[in-house]
């Protein structure tokens, strides 16, 4: 418990809010320099740094099971976008392609396709 408190105290810090004569505000980790006044001192504890993820690497086992010693990657599966999301993405691509030279008729035509798929917006 004492070790935990020591580690906690070592990570804590102070942030000094300094104000110059002209009203310019600066934040420093040390006390304010001459010509600036200390407006307030904020205490903070930085977020803990996550431990790195270790993967098992090494030579194959004696039984010859080489697959178990390889790094395995897990592919994240993104859900398939809905037809409405695809139509909206197509609309954005078409608007990007048209740029600023788009007419009201262009916008109406592109939006009509999205409304048909999305049952309105």
* Helix ranges restricted to H, the chain: 2-11, 83-98, 104-118
Tell me the pLDDT of the chain (121 aa) as tens digits: 333 333 444 567 888 899 999 999 988 888 999 999 999 888 878 778 888 887 766 555 555 555 555 555 656 677 888 888 999 999 999 999 998 888 999 999 999 999 998 887 6
* Residue tagged 């809905």 (tokens): 82
| Ramachandran angles phi, psi of 38, nearest 5° | -80, 115
pLDDT recorded at residue 88: 92
Give the pair of three-digit tokens for residue 46: 């930085």
CA 27/CA 16 separation, integer angstroms: 6
pLDDT recorded at residue 33: 92
pLDDT recorded at residue 67: 53
pLDDT recorded at residue 1: 37
* pTM assigned to the model: 0.36
pLDDT recorded at residue 2: 35
CA 55/CA 16 separation, integer angstroms: 41
pLDDT recorded at residue 19: 92
CA 93/CA 118 separation, integer angstroms: 17
The set of residues, in sequence order, having a beta carbon less than 8 Å from that of 36 and lying 6+ positions away, is 18, 19, 20, 21, 26
Question: Please, are residues 64 and 74 in contact by the beta-carbon 8 Å criterion?
Answer: no
């Amino acid at each position: 418990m004492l070790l935990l408190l020591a580690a906690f105290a070592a990570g804590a810090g102070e942030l000094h809010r300094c104000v110059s004569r002209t009203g310019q505000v600066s934040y420093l980790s040390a006390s304010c320099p001459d010509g600036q006044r200390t407006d307030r001192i904020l205490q903070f504890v930085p977020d803990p740094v996550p431990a790195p993820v270790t993967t098992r690497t090494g030579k194959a086992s004696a039984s010859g099971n080489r697959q178990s010693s390889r790094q395995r990657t897990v592919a994240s599966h993104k859900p398939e976008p809905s037809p409405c999301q695809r139509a909206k993405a197509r609309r954005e691509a078409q608007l990007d392609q048209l740029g600023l030279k788009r007419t009201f008729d262009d916008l109406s035509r592109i939006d009509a396709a999205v409304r048909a798929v999305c049952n309105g917006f």
